[in-house]
Amino acid sequence: MYLYWRVQQDLNCLGEVLTFIDPALKRCYTRWMRENASGIALAEDLPLETLFQRSLN
């Protein structure tokens, strides 16, 4: 899942968004994000609360 996260970070620089269609992949990515939230927050200089905000998308 780290690979998908890293690709998304590179796409952010281009203004693109990675969209998962497969429900199992979405579920695994979300689980990975929650398990690694503290490391992701440190890498992106974000407060931990912003990782778990709900979006309307």
Structure pTM?
Answer: 0.62
Q: To the nearest whole percent, how much of the chain has pLDDT over 70?
A: 82
Check pLDDT > 60 for residue 57: no
Mean pLDDT of 31-42: 83
Is 51 exposed, middle or buried, given 0-12, 13-18 or 19+ CB atoms closer than 10 A? middle
The angle at the Cα of 54, spanning 53 to 57, to the nearest 5 degrees, equals: 135
pLDDT at site 50: 63
Q: Across all residues in the chain, what is the average pLDDT?
A: 80
Q: Which residue did the predictor score with more confidence, 5 or 51?
A: 5
pLDDT at site 48: 66
Residue 11 token pair = 């796409």
